[in-house]
Amino acid sequence: MTYSELLKLLESLVKVPCVIAPLGTTHNHLVYVALAEGELSLWSLNLKTKVKRRLVSGVRLTSIAEPNPKSRFVVYTIDISKGRELSRVYAIDIISGKVLDIGSNIEPGRVMGIAFDGEKVALSLSYKDKVSLILLRLDGVFEELHRTDKVIFVSSLNEDLIAGYGVLKGNPRAFELFFYDLRTSEFKVYTPRDGTYNVNPLLHGRRALFETNAFGKKDLYIYDYDSSKIVKPSYSSSDYKYYEATDVGAYNWLRDGRIGFILKSKGRARLFIDGSLVKLPEGNLRFLGIGDNEVYVSHESLSRPPRVFKVDLRTLNYEVMIDNELPKEINEKIGTVRYVEYSSFDGLRIPTYVIESRATSKPGPTIIYVHGGPWAEVADSWDVLIASLVISGFHVVAPNFRGSTGYGEEFRVLDIGDPGGADLIDIVKAREWAIKSGLASKVAIMGYSYGGFMTYLALTKYPDLWDAGVAGAGITDWEEMYELSDEVFKRFIEILFTNKKELLKDRSTIFYADKIKAPLCIIHPQNDSRTPLKPVLKFVNKLLELNKRFEVHIIPDMGHLITTSEDLINILWPAIVFLKKNLR
Ligand code: 4NP
């Protein structure tokens, strides 16, 4: 393929909607978020006429509250800082399209969760030196209810009660729930058992459905706020018991008070309604939107971009509501997708997705793709970064190194206190697997954010293993990044490193730049406020002094989040050209 053919292919790829997330219905419209027609936007689908409408455009969307059937308004936030994630709250009438600027009196901040009960909005915002819990009315009147230095995510609001979760007791391996009672102005922290994982409480009345591992494997429980009692939900079917889940996915209350939930297993998922299995095709189910008599679920895989199915709650039959097809010239280049496991240095099995390219030979040039997070995963879900590599003629190996989500809480916490340590060895073992299995000839490492951090560290700590590296929005100096971070990201770094100050230096590539051997491609958004550019520029200076082989691509008017097709091209095109040159 020539560069012009490749660029054409990439442009065709980024036109394919890569995110479609159903959020729920209100006033006969399905509200969803999609990265389609060039940008991440809020959309509605009129359920009577089937007409789709883009509700906002030309902005960077940062969060959306679940629609509430009591209101025609949908509440969302947009970045007003060219990608720095300082956001402002708006509401839109999904029928008339009228926008209300309801958050103009609130100092813009990083949104850490937002909920809407049809009349009021609750949100948590992170600032340079505080985190605020805020209540906002549609007329623009707001109140700061609570101020903290802790990580708090708002997840639900119902009349007099706000529910959310966070790291509230200082244990880096635990999450607790919190409740703010608007009647008494009381902020209450709740955990069924100290040191356990408790997240995402969703209110129905004053009962909160949440995910916990306090009683063994992760499961859903209900906490009754008024009686302080905790119960296991009872379902009318026990289908779900026969599914060997490795994790819990999305869940919510149905409008009749029953529960719908998704169980995950090795990157794929199943939907259960009141305990009954819904017979959907194999793939991953990520987003669950609730309707009056139906639910909407996104369905996707590594070789198929997301579609939305509507599931009838009486029959549990499904139909396609929002379709999405790959152009032939892209589809024909995506080869076999496999789930594999290999053993790491200590015997830990590493769940991994392997995506073969039909645009190269076998063995062929291979990318070890390191996901961000680090508390995230590469599931059998559409991933436009991975797809771009595959169609460009690279096989991709995407390990879910220790610390990844989707494989239980014990696995997730394995990186806490040791980021860039054992998890990095898991990555090194992925390279070994790729070569031994006959997949890889030359091998590069590539990742964005935490994946960019791991790329830098892999090239410095294991310099002889790589033919090239691509670090997007990476981390080169944890100490300087800490100083530049807002309140929530300071806590994030403390949690990740369990406050081991000396480890910050050991895991910062800037101190080992002399070790690098492989050519390095650095891609970084100029306005990134999670992994700031400033320390990376110092690292670049070091590379220059040391006469290393590198290239740097700084993307203006962009922050950490990839929200437009242009962002995608700006990141992917330099990476692909670099990899083509260096893995030849
Ligand atoms: P992510 O980026 O991979 O996009 O989540 C990160 C940003 C900050 C930190 C880690 C990862 N941190 O530890 O502060």
pLDDT at position 21? 98
Give the pLDDT confidence of 397-427 residue by residue, as tens digits.
999 999 999 999 999 999 999 999 999 999 9
Identity at 325, one-letter amino acid code: E
DSSP 561: S
Single out the catalytic residue among 41, 63, 449, 565: 449
Residue 41 among the catalytic residues: no
Give the pLDDT confidence of 277-316 residue by residue, as tens digits.
999 999 999 999 999 999 999 999 999 999 999 999 999 9
pLDDT at position 523? 98
Mean pLDDT of the chain: 97
CA of 450 to the centre of ligand 1 (A): 5
Nearest CA residue ID for atom 2, ligand 1 = 449
**Strands 550-555, 520-525: parallel, antiparallel or unpaired by DSSP?**
parallel
Nearest CA residue ID for atom 11, ligand 1 = 450
pLDDT at position 148? 98
Q: Which mutation among 448, 449, 494 tests ligand 1's pocket best, with the greatest number of atoms within 8 A of CB?
A: 449
Q: How far is CA 93 from the centre of its chain?
A: 27
Q: How far is residue 336 from each of residues 281, 313, 328, 332, 540, measured CA to CA in Å?
A: 18, 34, 16, 11, 38
Q: How far is residue 250 from each of residues 5, 194, 324, 456, measured CA to CA in Å?
A: 39, 24, 22, 33
Neighbouring CB atoms inside 10 A of 250's CB total 19
Q: How far is residue 460 from each of residues 24, 138, 195, 325, 465, measured CA to CA in Å?
A: 46, 52, 35, 41, 10
Give the pLDDT confidence of 517-543 residue by residue, as tens digits.
999 999 999 999 999 999 999 999 999
Q: How far is residue 49 from each of residues 44, 45, 291, 307, measured CA to CA in Å?
A: 11, 8, 16, 19
pLDDT at position 162? 98
Nearest CA residue ID for atom 4, ligand 1 = 449
DSSP 293: S
Q: How far is residue 203 from each of residues 18, 186, 430, measured CA to CA in Å?
A: 30, 17, 42
CA of 374 to the centre of ligand 1 (A): 7
497-527 burial code (b ≥16 CB/10 A, e <16): beeeeebbeebbbbbbbeebebbbbbbbbeb
pLDDT at position 419? 98
DSSP 169: S
Residues 6 or more apart in contact with residue 193 via CB below 8 angstroms: 214
Residue 449 among the catalytic residues: yes
- 413 burial class (0-12, 13-18, 19+ CB within 10 angstroms)? middle
**Dist CA 466 CA 313 (whole Å):** 51
pLDDT at position 394? 98
Q: Beta partners for 122?
A: 115, 135
> Interhelix angle for 384-391 vs 565-582, to 10°?
40
Identity at 397, one-letter amino acid code: V
CA of 531 to the centre of ligand 1 (A): 7
CA of 125 to the centre of ligand 1 (A): 17
Residue 553 among the catalytic residues: no
**Dist CA 23 CA 451 (whole Å):** 28
pLDDT tens-place values along the chain, 584 residues long: 899 999 999 999 999 999 999 999 999 999 999 999 999 999 999 999 999 999 999 999 999 999 999 999 999 999 999 999 999 999 999 999 999 999 999 999 999 999 999 999 999 999 999 999 999 999 999 999 999 999 999 999 999 999 999 999 999 999 999 999 999 999 999 999 999 999 999 999 999 999 999 999 999 999 999 999 999 999 999 999 999 999 999 999 999 999 999 999 999 999 999 999 999 999 999 999 999 999 999 999 999 999 999 999 999 999 999 999 999 999 999 999 999 999 999 999 999 999 999 999 999 999 999 999 999 999 999 999 999 999 999 999 999 999 999 999 999 999 999 999 999 999 999 999 999 999 999 999 999 999 999 999 999 999 999 999 999 999 999 999 999 999 999 999 999 999 999 999 999 999 999 999 999 999 999 999 999 999 999 999 999 999 999 999 999 999 999 999 999 999 999 999 999 999 98
pLDDT at position 51? 97
CA of 451 to the centre of ligand 1 (A): 9
221-243 burial code (b ≥16 CB/10 A, e <16): bbbebeeeebeebebeeeebeee
Nearest CA residue ID for atom 12, ligand 1 = 493
Nearest CA residue ID for atom 5, ligand 1 = 373
pLDDT at position 27? 98
Nearest CA residue ID for atom 10, ligand 1 = 450
Residues 6 or more apart in contact with residue 259 via CB below 8 angstroms: 209, 220, 233, 235, 251, 252, 253, 274
Q: Which mutation among 489, 500, 533 tests ligand 1's pocket best, with the greatest number of atoms within 8 A of CB?
A: 489
Single out the catalytic residue among 528, 529, 565, 567: 528
Single out the catalytic residue among 485, 560, 565, 567: 560
CA of 449 to the centre of ligand 1 (A): 6
pLDDT at position 573? 98
Pocket of ligand 1 (CB under 6 A): 372-373, 449-450, 489, 492-493, 496, 530-531
**Dist CA 375 CA 415 (whole Å):** 9
What does pTM read for this prediction?
0.97
Two tokens at 495? 């949690």
pLDDT at position 311? 98
